[in-house]
Every structure is written in C-alpha cells, then in structure tokens.
Structure 1
Amino acid sequence: MVLRPEGLSAADYEALPEEVCRRIEVIDGAIVVNAAPRRPHQRAARRLANALEEVCGRRFAVDTDVDLRLRDVPLLNRRPDIVVYDGMLPDDAVLRPQHCLLVVEIMSPGSITTDQTDKPAEYAASEIPYFWRIESAEMDEKKLTVFRYRLDPTTRTYAVAGVDTGTLLVTDPFDLSVDLADLT
C-alpha cells in the first residue's frame, strides 16, 4: 500500500479488509503493524473481559481487540485489549472515546513504551474516564499487577486510582473482584 503524505484517512481505513485491520493501528495516519499477541496475553484479556461483562450488565458492552477511533484527522485508531463502552451503541457504529468507560491494555515485551506512555496519554486526552494496564513480573509471567487510573478532567491526564496484585478489587466504576492468578 502506498500512502499519501498526509497518511491514511478514515475512509481509507474503512475500505481495508477486516483481516488487515485486525493487525494494525493507525497513528497520525501512519500504519503500525502489531504482532499477534501470545496465548497468555489473549487468555488474560478474554478472562478479564468475561469477568467485566458479568458485572457490567446490559448498560455496558465489553469487547476485546476492537477498533477505537480516537481522532479522524490525522487518523488515530487504536485496538485496546479490552474496552467497556455504552451498551446501546449500534454494532455498525464507529466506537469513539465518548462511548467508552474503561480501556484496558495488557502489556507485552514489544509494547512497553506504547502501553505505559503513548496510549494512556491518548486515552486521557480523549477523556476516557478509566484506564487499566496489566503487567506481568519480569521473571514470572503468571504474577500480574493491575495499574488502575482515573481521569482528572481538569488536566485531561490520568491519576493513579490503585495498584492491585493478587486480587483485583474494584468498587469504581463498578464492583469487581478477580483473583489475578485466574487470568493466567
């Protein structure tokens, strides 16, 4: 694919085949190819998404690895590991920040800077109320830590809301208790 100097547009992206979109993110119109996540990453995302879906009810939808359009020009399109969003959003509607309550990223060795710095800044600037990042211990990928953040609307940055090891225990924005070992 040959890109124009202004990069990929929203219309260009929407014209791409779904199998291409599943492996890319678009940052300021530039295509970034993402490696397929490893099985433990996928397992943790699926299990946490299932737990979130149980506590969210019909008010919110929970999906994994879906397009989130943060900006149209220049195009900024991310694919969070998990997103909790307005359950009334039609399936054919573009998912945008104003629909989202929570975005979760599971950090991989190749996504440290992106997951610790870039994505939280983009999600906060887009005013998504909650962001969680899941990291595994260097020597033991079964030991997970969840870093939880809540948006400070005055600065449009995230403030630490909690750090969980062993058990993820949340009361805001919903009640959730998950043994983190069960995600692995």
Structure 2
Amino acid sequence: MTTRVLLASRNAKKLAELRRILAAERVAGVEVVGLADVPEFPEAPETGATFEENALAKARDAAAATGLPSIADDSGIAVDALNGMPGVLSARWSGHGDKANVDLVLNQLHDVPDARRGGGFVCAVALVLPDGSETVLRADWRGVITREPTGTNGFGYDPIFRPEGHDRTSAELTPDEKDAISHRGQALRLLLPHLAALAG
C-alpha cells in the first residue's frame, strides 16, 4: 500500500528533488504528488516573519484542502552583511525575478570585502497530517557570496553562493552533489523518518 503525500509546491525542480532523495534513501511506500496533481485550492500569500511560519501556513492550507499529509518548505538566502536579508523576502527581493534578485544582492555587496561575504541558504520544512499533527524542521547551508554569477544548474541565488569547503558555486554542482549537501536536501532528510512512519 502506498501513502500519497502532497508537496505543496508548483516547482517541478523541488518535486523532482524530494523524489530523488526518497529514492536514494530507499524510503518505500510513499508517493509524492505536487499541487498540479490535486484540485486547485486558494493558497494564502506568504506573510510570515520566519521561514518556519511560512512553511507551516502552506502545509496547513494544503492538508486542510486536500485531506492529504502535506509538506511545504520555505527557503531563501540570508546574507550576513545585509543583516540576514533577503531572508523570507528572497524570492521577491527585487520584485523582478531571479536574475534581478541576484544582481541586486551583488550590487548591495559591491563594497563588501571577501572576508565579510558570508551567508547561507536556509530551509524550513513543515509536515502537517490530516489529524492536525505538525512537524517543522530547519536546516542551514553556509558559504560565501561570490562576486559574480557562475554555473547554470539550480535556480535563484545558486550562481552566487559557494558552499563551505567547495571551490564551485551551488549552480556548478550536479543535482546529486547538491541534494547531498544543500539546505533543502538536509531538511528533507530530517523529514524522512516521519515520512517512513506514514508509510508504515
């Protein structure tokens, strides 16, 4: 018997990532579907002050609307020299999409020396069950913000983020390499025991 679990996202890359991680970790009996696979329901805007609040709100909405165990994540980049911003505003930092967001962060860090260009991706992931029980987990992926974008894999701020211990940006890593160490990969792995329990 297979348990259907909803990933409350329309991002095909996030869906593929969770499916890859479940397969790699040999979690059986769980079928992950996305928002495109269920009837549409009203999705509340992300107004939380933290990644955790946003993830939980999305997962609650999805579970209430579909009756399925629902996973949602909220993630973004927190730049030390910008006091942790863009943070929860990462996706809409410039108001004009990924490339403009990256350009804006690079412009804001224009005069910041290499030694102070630390930062990291943050991912909060929430699992809400139809019975109302909730789990919220968080992972951080530290590194530095580069001076120019490099690489074509990934999305968002990946081309300007070089993880600690690596000489390539997140956008230069293969999907498998990124899954193994990324903020979302770490957070989803923390969730695996809870998903395995659902599958019985």
Shorter-chain TM-score range: 0.3 to 0.5
Structure with the bigger RCO (C-alpha within 8 Å, sep 6+) is: 2
| TM-score w.r.t. length of structure 2 | 0.34
| TM-score w.r.t. length of structure 1 | 0.36
Q: Decide which structure has the larger Cα Rg and report it.
A: 2
Question: Which structure dedicates a bigger proportion of its chain to strand?
Answer: 1
Question: Which structure dedicates a bigger proportion of its chain to helix?
Answer: 2
